[in-house]
Structure 1
Amino acid sequence: MSKHIPNDHIYQEAQLAPMTVAEINKLTANARALPPSGDQTHVLVEDGEDPWVVSHGGSLYYCTVDRLKQKVMVGKFSHLKEMATAELVQVWPGKQGTTPEYVEIWAPELQLIDGKWYIYFALYNAKNGAERLFALEGISGHPQGDYEFQGQLQIPTDRWAIDGTVLATDDGQLYFVWSGWEGFTNVSQNIYIARMSNPWTIASDRVCISRPEYEWEKQGYPHVNEGPQVLTRNGRIFIVYSASGSWTDDYCLGQLTYLGSDMLDPASWRKEPEPVFSKTDTIFGPGHACFVEIDQQDYIIYHAARRSQAGWARQVRAKPFIWNADGSPNFGVPE
């Protein structure tokens, strides 16, 4: 495996705007050397991104990567304030199954489906358009135990794909939701959904349910919809996603609401016309969230830029959120 610098996203070098990857990496390095803006009370991890936290059996589990982004790690802890100091156990690459060549692992997610643990992630290969999504299946019954590599999630319309997550309906049907390109060039990242026949097998072609269309989704180029996450309550289903360039101050969260009927019909999803979580005067680029309920309180856990113009220097933050009278989430503003 060749040496690399994390966040050195070579395949985007010619496309990212309004600055190059080299310029973004310089901003990132500068920001890490400067004090962060914003109140640090709610910071869980001082240097981190793409958080994934799940509650199970009275414990919390944090699925992440090592700082070189070459290992999938899972930490166990009791309270959110312990997240940064929890011991991280490497679960992949492991002893089971094959290990493909890769340069980085992106945005792993740990999910419990039908009593088994699964981890989903993208592999980055520093080749234009080569990123794809993969699945691990737990074989020990414990989030920090052994996993078997199940390989790539094979989608009939095979295109660049990252940020995969699973949506499970009350009747047990599984759907896969992710961010991908429409074609073979990086002009826009859209949100796609497909039906699954089991937790590692796609059983339909993809359907686009969101593409960047509002100005708040189109800050920076290419235009971005990514990081979709499923949020459910009282039978209602929402997909909260990240919009605009992750390297910009304007990275934010948008929301899709499921209206009923066919999940694979784009008309079954309504997009909110405004972001549901966006920057403040001191906290910039809030995005790539996950949601966890702790002691009957719902939390949004997300990453935000260390300061304005911070590139990819990010912190993991958390805050409680409430629900509106119509049953939709109300995240308030970043803290």
Structure 2
Amino acid sequence: MVADTRTSHSPAVNPRRERTDAPAGRGPSARRRTTLELTGKYVVAVVASVIAVFPILYIVSASFNPNGSLVGSNSLFASFDLGNYVELFTSPAQPYAAWFVNTLVIGIVSSFGTVLLGALAAYAFSRMRFSGRRLGLITILLVQMFPQLLAVVAIFLLMTAIGDIFPAIGLDTQLGLILVYLGGALGVNTYLMYGFFNTVPSSIDEAAKLDGASHARIFFTIILRLAAPILAVVGLISFIGTVSEFVVASVILTDPAKQTLAVGLFQFVSQETSSNWPVFAAGAVLAALPVVVLFFLLQKYIVGGLTAGAVK
């Protein structure tokens, strides 16, 4: 009887084993689906990289082209000549070195001023409660809906009138252009830093106040250090926008010795009879170097600053 009982129970199939073996049967199809998804992602990444990198390679190749047009640059790096770079710094009609220095000075000062003023305004909106606070935030957001290009005529008339009273910040002055850039970039950067400051716990401020710290001490010694990612992002965005801006700079700066790279390089291709695109490409390559260097220096702050400032 005991043997018969064991024999009768031995052919029984464990249902738990069936459930564990079932996913194994679907394994190849799941792996195939995962492989197809990864392949599609890699294909999209490669295509996007080619689209993004090809214009850069073309401009770099054109900067080494000894011909005076872009026709000979269709074959990438078919020729290698540094004559275009030499012409940038030796041409007396186009002071490229002065343009480069002017761009760096205007970009650095504008970026620093934008970060400082925007951080002060964002700290006030984030930590202090005063009448008109909500209206001010809404106004800052609404003002950014209108591009600065719409105010070019008003800016020109305003700078002309200011120049009659204060010539140092009027028309055809780099300081006046910096002030225009500060006013144009203050709104969106303030709102971006306001969102980041809200992620900093207010208990840190309260603990510092118990120790006798003032608002200024809290801001400069605690908040700015904690907000380093968003400050780096705002500074980088402001610097890139200042270096590449053309319309406002071309309206305010008329003296060739005071112009920026965006305005000065246009002279190489603005004349139909003497367009020199390879020299323009060489100047554009050199103009992109400060932005690339600054991007790599601030790379570790960029992702954290953008994501943290965008969730609020």
TM-score, normalised via structure 2 length: 0.24
Structure of greater relative contact order (alpha carbons < 8 Å, 6+ residues apart): 2
Of Structure 1 and Structure 2, which has the larger fraction of its residues in strand?
1
Of Structure 1 and Structure 2, which has the larger fraction of its residues in helix?
2
TM-score, normalised via structure 1 length: 0.22
